[in-house]
Structure 1
Amino acid sequence: MRSSSTMRRNDLSIQGGKAQDQEARLEYLPLFLSVTHQDVVILGGSDGAAAKARLLCRAGARVRLFARTLGPEMGDLVRTGQVALAGDSPTLDGLRGCRLAFDDGADAEASMFLGARASDLGLLVNTIDRPAACDFIVPAIIDRSPVVVAISTGGASPALAKLVRQRVESVLPAGLGRLARALSACREGVKRVLSTGRARLRFWDSFLTDARLDRLARCTEEQMGAQVAEEVETALAGTADTDPAGDVALVGAGPGDPGLLSLAAAQALRTADVVLHDALVSREVLDMVRKDARLISVGKRAGGAAMPQDMINRLMVTHARRGVRVVRLKGGDPFIFGRGGEEQEHLIAHGIHPRVVGGTTAALGVAATLGIPLTHRGVARSLRLVTGALGEGMEGDDARDWAGLADPETTLCLYMAGRKVAEAARGLMAGGLGPTTPVAVVWSGCTPDQECRFCTVGELAHWTGDPRNGHPVLFIVGAVVAFAPAWTASSDQSRFQTG
C-alpha cells in the first residue's frame, strides 16, 4: 500500500541564491478506470461508505457490502437493491473477483483481514479519509457526462480539492455533456473526410475555439445535434485531406507571471506540438503547454551555456517542415531584446512565415507591480528601453552612448546591464543626469522571487557586482521611480550598499 508523502524583503545585502523551483513529483497517476459490470467491495455502512457506493453505482459497478451496522444512507441503498449486503465481515471468497475495495475503517478486525489479503488477491484498497493507507484515491469530480473532470490534492486536502472543483465547475457550461455527445456523433464523418490523424487533430483544434464552445454549449438537447453537424460539415468543406503544413509562432511568454500571457499566447501553447523555450520562461507558463507536446530548452540564464542561435534556427525550420506546430517561446516580448527579428528573418528566408504573438516586456510588467508610471505628465514624456549588453564587435564607450541617454524627462529601462550598470550610471551623470535621480533595481521581476531595491544614480555608479548572480535584473531610471509607493518608505534607510 501507498504511504503519503508582495514582494521579497527590500535588502540588497541578502547573500546567496534562492533554491530553484523543483517540479513536484506526481503523487498519483491520474486515470479513469472502467468498473462497469465489475465487482467492487465496500467495508462499513457509514455515510462516507455510502457516498462511495453511490459513485460506484453511477459508474456501473456491482457493489458488494460487508458491514455490521448500516447507516440510513447505506440502508436505503441496500433496500433499493443498488448495493448487495454480503455479510457482517469480509471472507476470502467474498473478496475474490473484486477489482477495488473501499474501507471506512470503522471495523478494525475487518480492516486487518482486508489488508492481509488484498495484495495476494490483486485488490486495490482505498481507506476512506486515510490517504497513507490507500493504494488509490478518489478525486473530486465535475460530472458533465461524458465529460468528467477529476481534481485531486493527492489526499493532502480534500477540502481544497472541493473548493477547486466548485470554482472550475462555475466556469464550465452546463451543456458541455450535450456538446460532447454531439461531437462524438460527428467523429466518423470527419474520419471519412480526413484520413490522417494529424489532419484530424489540426481540424478539431481549429474547430473547437473558446467562442464556439461557449455558443454551442448553450444549445438545447433538440438543437444540439443538428447545429453541431451543420458547423462541422461547413468547416470540413474548406479542409484538404492532406497532412497540414507545419508552422512556427514566435510567442512572448512575458516576464514570468502566467497571468500576463495574452489569450493568443495561451491558445498557441495549448495547440503546439513542439515548444522551444528560453531557460527563464517560468514553470507556471510551461505548465500551460499541452502534456503530449515536446519541450526543448534552448535558452540560457545569465552567464550560463546556451544553444547557439543558428541551431535554434535550424530546429525551428526542421520541425516545421515535418508538419508540426512549433512555438518559439521567448521571455518577455519576442521583438524586444529577444532576437525575434533575427529568427523571423531566418524563417522567411526558408519559406516559413511565422506568426508573432507579442508578450509583456519586463519593463512594463515590473513597473506595474511597483506602481511606477513609466510616463507621467510633466515628469517623463518618453520611455527608452536600452540593453546594457554589448553586441558583437562593440567595445568600450563606442558600444553605448550613455551621455546621449541622459534626458531628465525620459524614463530609462536598462536590460541585461548588470555588468555595465556602474559605467552606465557614470555616463548618465556625465551627460547631465542628476546624481539624485531615483533608480529601482529589480531581480526576477513578476515572479514569486521578485526583489526590489531603490537607490539613486549616484549610488548606482558604485555598483560592485550582482549578489544575485543568475537572476535577471532590470534597472528603471528616472524621476517617475519616486511615484512608487515603496520609494518613500525606503528613503529613511540606507538604500544601497556600495561594497
Structure 2
Amino acid sequence: MHSLPVFLRLTGRAVILTGMGEAADAKRRLLERAGAVIVGEEAEAAIAIVSDGDEATAQRLRARGVLVNATDRPEHCDFTLPAIVDRDPVLIAIGTGGASAGLAKALRQRLEAMLPARLGALADALAQARGAMKARWPGAADRRRAIDAALAPGGVLDPLRADAADAVPGWLSADGAAATQGTVPIRLLSADPDDLTLRAARLLGEADVVYHHPAVPPAILHRARADAVRIIADAMPDASGEGLTLWLEMAE
C-alpha cells in the first residue's frame, strides 16, 4: 500500500491554494465543499494544494513543514487527491498514487452508476439506530455479526438496494438473517486475491478468526478483516470459538 487513505475534516481550517486557472478553480470548489478556509502561500496552514504543479512553490511550502499536493507532479506530493463518489455521509475515494487520474475517474464513474442515490440515507438510518442495535444485541461481536448478515449481498440491508434505508426499522423488529457461524473451510485455487470467489471474499470480510496453512500468501490474508485473529496452522482446527472461523489452505 503506497499511501494511507485518510479523510480530513477541514471545516473552518486553513488550506493554502496557489496557482490560477481552471485547475485552481476546480480545487477551490472541492475545498469549499469540504468547508475549508482558503488562504494564500504566506499564511499558516497544515496542508497546501499547488494547483499549477509549480516545483519551486511546492519546495518552499514543504520546507516549512506543510504537506503539499502538487497537481500532476507526484514526485512533489505528500498526499494526492482522489476521485470521489459522494453519497453524504458515505464517501468513497479512489486513488492511484498519482499514476493515472483518468483511471481514477473511470472507476468513479462506474461506482456512481452502481451505488444508489440514497446510500447516504442508509448510513444515517444505521447511525440513528445505534441505541436500538445495542439494546437488541448487547454484545459487540453479536451486534457486528447481525449487521454483517443484514448488509451482505441479498441481505435485508444490502447497500445496493435502493430501499435499504427504509428497511432498517423492520430489520430491528424482525428475526433477521442469521449470521454465518462455526468453522468454514476454504480451499484456494490460486494465490491471486482477484481469483477469490464472491463467497470466499465475503467470508474473509466477516470472519472473527482465520486459521491458515503457511502456504497461504499474505495477499489473500490482507482481504480479511483488519481485526480478525490470524493463526498459522498445519490443519483445520477441531473446534471453533464463538462467531465465524475460517480455515484457509491452498488446493493441491
Q: 1:327 Cα deviation (Å)?
A: 0.2
Q: What are the within-5 Å matches in structure 2 for residues 281-292 of structure 1? A: 281=216, 284-292=219-227
Matching residue within 162, 171, 179 for 1:231: 171
TM-aligned CA distance change 1:171 to 1:213, over 3 Å: farther
* Counterpart check, 1:138 vs 2:71: no
Q: What are the within-5 Å matches in structure 2 for residues 436-475 of structure 1? A: none
**For the Cα contact (< 8 Å) 1:256–1:281, is it kept in 2?**
yes
Distance in 2, matches of 1:112 and 1:282, equals 40
Distance in 1, matches of 2:70 and 2:157, equals 39
Distance in 1, matches of 2:223 and 2:53, equals 42
Query: Among the aligned pairs, what percent are the same residue?
Result: 35
Letter in 1 for 2:227: D
For 1:330, the equivalent position in structure 2 comes to: 249
For 1:104, the equivalent position in structure 2 comes to: 51
Q: What are the within-5 Å matches in structure 2 for residues 298-337 of structure 1? A: 298=233, 307=234, 309=235, 313=237, 317=239, 320-321=240-241, 323-332=242-251
TM-aligned CA distance change 1:111 to 1:154, over 3 Å: closer
**For the Cα contact (< 8 Å) 2:209–2:229, is it kept in 1?**
yes
**For the Cα contact (< 8 Å) 1:272–1:289, is it kept in 2?**
yes
Letter in 1 for 2:161: A
* Counterpart check, 1:293 vs 2:234: no
For 1:35, the equivalent position in structure 2 comes to: 10
Distance in 2, matches of 1:113 and 1:257, equals 43
Distance in 1, matches of 2:140 and 2:159, equals 27
For 2:149, the equivalent position in structure 1 comes to: 206
For 2:38, the equivalent position in structure 1 comes to: 63
**For the Cα contact (< 8 Å) 2:210–2:248, is it kept in 1?**
yes
Matching residue within 124, 133, 139 for 2:67: 124
Q: 1:126 Cα deviation (Å)?
A: 1.3
Structure 2 unaligned residues grouped into runs of 5+: none
When the two structures are superposed, what TM-score results if normalisation uses the length of structure 2? 0.84
**For the Cα contact (< 8 Å) 1:42–1:101, is it kept in 2?**
yes
Distance in 1, matches of 2:22 and 2:14, equals 20
Q: 1:214 Cα deviation (Å)?
A: 4.6
Letter in 1 for 2:199: A
TM-aligned CA distance change 1:140 to 1:106, over 3 Å: closer
Secondary structure in structure 2 of the residue aligned to 1:210: coil
For 1:74, the equivalent position in structure 2 comes to: none
When the two structures are superposed, what TM-score results if normalisation uses the length of structure 1? 0.45
TM-aligned CA distance change 1:172 to 1:278, over 3 Å: farther
Distance in 2, matches of 1:209 and 1:160, equals 28
Matching residue within 127, 131, 147 for 1:188: 131
Could you say what the CA RMSD is over the residues aligned between the two structures, in angstroms?
A: 3.0
Residue by residue over 1:284-320, the C-alpha shift from the partner in whole angstroms, topping out at 9 and shown as x without a partner, is 543432333233343xxxxxxxx4x4xx53xx63xx3
For 1:338, the equivalent position in structure 2 comes to: none
Structure whose CA Rg is larger: 1
For 1:150, the equivalent position in structure 2 comes to: 93
For 1:51, the equivalent position in structure 2 comes to: 26
Q: 1:60 Cα deviation (Å)?
A: 1.6
**For the Cα contact (< 8 Å) 2:2–2:97, is it kept in 1?**
yes
Q: 1:194 Cα deviation (Å)?
A: 2.3
